[in-house]
Amino acid sequence: MYHLYILKCSDKSLYTGITNDLDKRLASHEEGKGSKYVRSRLPFKLVHTERFRNRSNAQKREAKVKGWSRKEKFENLKLGI
């Protein structure tokens, strides 16, 4: 199972990623061992997740979401943040 996830960082920016182990990935972000982007914007809040059966579908969705503007992410995903 793969997950697409969106984090709201301390500077109010949004970070989108995919993983096959959401808990482990979030822990690595919290420990500063995740992406450089999130590492420099701690703390963060998990604001959205979606589940996929395979990596290919998760990557396609990630690419689509990353192509959206911040406003589109809020509207399309109904982010209540």
Domain at 2-77: CATH code: 3.40.1440.10
Residues of the chain with pLDDT under 50: none
- pLDDT, position 80: 59
Burial degree of 14 (CB within 10 A; 0-12, 13-18, 19+) = buried
**Residues near 46 by beta carbon (within 8 Å), at least 6 away in sequence:** 5, 6, 7, 26
Q: Where are the domains of the chain?
A: 2-77
- pLDDT, position 29: 96
**pTM here?**
0.91
- pLDDT, position 37: 96
> For residue 30, how many other CB atoms are within 10 A of its CB?
14
Q: Is 78 left (phi over 0), alpha (psi -120 to 50) or beta?
A: left
- pLDDT, position 34: 87
